[in-house]
Amino acid sequence: MSTLVIVESPTKARTIRNFLPSTYRVEASMGHVRDLPSSAEEIPEAVKGEKWAQLGVNVEADFEPLYVIPKDKKKIVKELKDALKDATELILATDEDREGESISWHLLQILKPKVPIKRMVFHEITREAIRDALTHCRDIDNRVVQAQETRRILDRLVGYTLSPLLWKKIAWGLSAGRVQSVAVRLLVRRERERRAFRQGSYWDLKALLEKGKISFDAKLVTVGNVKVANGSDFDENTGQIIAGRRVLLLNEEQARALLSRIQNKPWTVSNLEERPVTRKPSPPFTTSTLQQEANRKLRLGARETMRIAQSLYERGFITYMRTDSVHLSEQALEAARSCVQELYGSEYLSPQPRKYTTKSKGAQEAHEAIRPAGSTFRTPQQTGLDGIDFRLYDLIWKRTVASQMADSRQTHVTVLTQVEDAGFRSSGKRIDFPGFLRAYVEGSDDPNAALEDQEVILPALKVGDKPNCKDLEAVGHETQPPARYTEASLVKMLESEGVGRPSTYASIIGTIVDRGYAKLIANALIPTFTAFAVTTLLETHFPDLVDTGFTSRMEQTLDEIATGEAKWLPYLQKFYTGETGLATQVKEQESQIDAKVARTVVLENISAKVCIGKFGAYLESESEEGLVKASIPQDLTPADLDPEQVEFLLKQKMEGPEKLGLHPETGEPIYVLIGSYGPYVQLGDVSETNKKPKRASLPKGTDKDSVTVDMAVSLLTLPRLLGSHPETGAKVQANLGMYGPYVVHDQGKVGKDYRSIKPPDDVLTIELDRALELLSQPKAARGRSKTATPLKELGAHPESGELINVYDGRYGPYVKHGDINASLAKDESVENFTLQKALDLLAAKEAAGGGKSSSKSKKSTKTAAEKSETATKKTAAKKTTAKKTATGAKKTTTKKAATATATKKKTT
């Protein structure tokens, strides 16, 4: 007797294998094994001539999907079939959500087992949970499979029908997506609000009062019983006070006159109010709230949060991380309350277990909230985790435990003080009992420090008291435009509008950034000119598809298909081929869309046209000499483009560059220009004999108007030769690069060693001794990495002696040796990654032509490369799949890339 168990990822397989008897064989499907074709080469010859073949869905035959096994999955399918030959039973143990149910169904269709089949589901990977799941197996839920298939077909129809239209009318390679396009519109709409915003200014007074040697602040709120205007009284579209508001708007002169009038007058407490407030803890994490809080507290993006959470789940540390539910099982309630009792005492325990209910009707992964796994919760210190894994687990542990703690009791105090006819207000807050705040304060890393920050203690006051005024100042204010979306606030908005599903938000945001619809700057998502153009076209010609209400109703219908309340085929027919269906709309609208208009972005206060071209956005303006076109720098967003910059770019194009002065030694002119990659200085003119004049970029943060001749001359000396390295005799230079200033030890064919220059060091003044000191320091993670230190140090290379480390990069962990970077497989945990694995991976990358290395490292990895032939093929297959995959699919640490089947240039 032997039983074959199939899960999605190798990490999950390894963990589960520890909890099953030896007669059970656990294998991984590596995500989906079958999907719609992702490229023309995957379309079977038998249907290549059909009109619908490119869609991968036969819209003429009840929307029958065309499923294929991708090349990189054929070997896996063969291995699973071979494993099934020796089995007397098959257990499909993929995740219990729509995606997991769909994977199990596809496995069943491909393997065609002749042995008994069971569907095993669990929400945490612990011995107890796996053993319990074995005794409660069920059949595949075909309604859930149908709902997922409908969702997949719908996403394909939207993307593959709209994207080609965008290529024709705006630019090649653009994509549209059912949820992606709605999210982009939210960003664009907020940016439009910011551009339309008109700033208002107002003044008030701030006082520092003292009573009994305790100082406290007071702010002016009334003059002559009339409310003093503040930011909330302004109309954002005019910068003026909202019509009908009876408020007193003070300017600087009036504020200073009032200050002089009351400067030395007596202050009296006119009113005092104490109001008790009770705060309850937040419920445990769902997918979206975890993404939001991890972004706020840990500065993690949604994709990175889900990658780490997936790893924690598959290693048995937390429950399933894709969930809409805030429910906790009885086991979890008991475990959390036990933690509170042991760590904080009975007074911090809520009188009764807190049971949270999910408000969202579409909560389709309704098992449990994200919590620590097991019947007893390991404290973060007991897990053995470190780095970002530790910090995310710590966040989940604290939130879960805090949910079962007592309320926080606070007293809010408001004191009104009068000085002549001017009224001032002071606000205080006293924490009478911290309750759950002792363990968890939302948005803060340190609960104890946050408790201190939350308290604002006022002295003991009563009506009639006369505090002393220690200081009084006039303060000017300016109203602020609506805040841009961060990843956290965008996730919150999408969820509140019922758009998409939490499990897809990470990939949606990733796609928006990767496809050039937004830039992530200082944690804010800033839409690009392309985003404006695409959104305007869709709003004008396909308004429903970017309407949050329409998309939300679509989600509800898909949920109803999963529960059997709605039929999938009539819905797809109406959506796509009906009289007002998408296919019909595209045919009707295509001829009505003027490509020139579609490529034009209209911005307030900008006289020139902003157009989208083959090489990016550019300005277009009529002049006496004719039509003038000027490129817009790639790092300039619609938010930053103002009339002054437009004038400069057009003037530079028409009149030539602005002359800063003459070089003191050569006498050549020095110009300040703005190019595709930002401002730079140039020495001399472009001519037949000088086709490429010397140029140097301005350091980040340097305004072009602040550049002097001396600064330009210094920049044009870059790269600066600082001297020779005392050990190698090779040159050491200082220069500016894409990622900022740096020093480099250039040993020619042997290689280059770089170190970043950080303030107070300056690329223009740094000397050889300081450069050598920087070069002697251990190399930090650079380029794509997000941290300055390695995630893990593996040791020295056996031949070259260079350190091999694991770093955290934009696309996940990678191992680095010399000039070779090799990504870890998504199922590979950093903690268990060894030096030998690194050598094999690096050898495979080098054998595939993936980088340069020193002669020593080439020699040392040759044998490892031969041993790693299989690993090379797997790695290459995974990377190919990842590039072809669109982000509408659920992502797992095993690169479930085959799930999203849009082509590289098509839909997400």
Question: Where in the sequence numbering do the catalytic residues fall?
Answer: 320
Contacts 24+ apart (CB under 8 A), 258-265: 258/205, 258/220, 258/223, 258/422, 258/474, 259/205, 259/472, 259/473, 259/474, 261/420, 262/419, 262/420, 262/422, 262/472, 263/472, 265/419, 265/420
Q: Which two tokens stand for residue 524?
A: 């804010």
Residue 89 has φ and ψ, to the nearest 5°, of -160, 145
Q: Are 834 and 807 in contact (CB under 8 A)?
A: no
Cα dihedral sign, 853-854-860-862:
positive
Distances (CA, A) of 771 to 685, 717, 765, 777: 34, 17, 11, 10
Pairing relationship of beta strands 89-92 and 3-7 according to DSSP bridges: parallel
Query: For residue 305, how many other CB atoms are within 10 A of its CB?
Result: 26
> Measured between alpha carbons, how far apart are the two ends of the chain, in Å?
44
Dump the DSSP string for 217-238.
EEEEEEETTEEBP-GGGB-TTT
Dump the DSSP string for 85-154.
HT-SEEEE---SSHHHHHHHHHHHHHH--SS-EEE---SS-SHHHHHHHHTT-B---HHHHHHHHHHHHH
For residues 237, 240, 244 and 247, what is the CA-based torsion angle, rounded to 10 degrees?
140
What is the CB-side half-sphere exposure of residue 823 using CA atoms within 13 A? 18
Q: Are 525 and 485 in contact (CB under 8 A)?
A: yes
Residues with Cβ within 8 Å of 832's Cβ and at least 6 positions away in sequence, in order, are none
Dump the DSSP string for 718-734.
PSEEEEE-TTT--EEEE
Q: What is the largest CA-CA distance in the chain?
A: 95
Helix or strand holding residue 430 (H, E): strand 422-433
3-state secondary structure (DSSP) of residue 741: strand
C-alpha–C-alpha distance, residues 305 and 307, integer Å: 6
C-alpha–C-alpha distance, residues 766 and 42, integer Å: 56
Cα dihedral sign, 255-256-262-263:
positive
C-alpha–C-alpha distance, residues 285 and 3, integer Å: 35
Query: For residue 129, how many other CB atoms are within 10 A of its CB?
Result: 20
For 265-333, what is the HEC assignment?
A: CCCEEEEEEEEEEEECCCCCECHHHHHHHHHHHHCCCHHHHHHHHHHHHHCCCECCCCCCCCCCCHHHH
Q: Are 170 and 612 in contact (CB under 8 A)?
A: yes
Contacts 24+ apart (CB under 8 A), 739-745: 739/782, 739/783, 740/699, 740/700, 741/699, 743/771, 743/774, 743/775, 744/719, 745/775
The count of residues in the chain is 908
8-state DSSP, 573: I
Q: Which two tokens stand for residue 823?
A: 């990504």
3-state secondary structure (DSSP) of residue 594: coil
3-state secondary structure (DSSP) of residue 263: coil
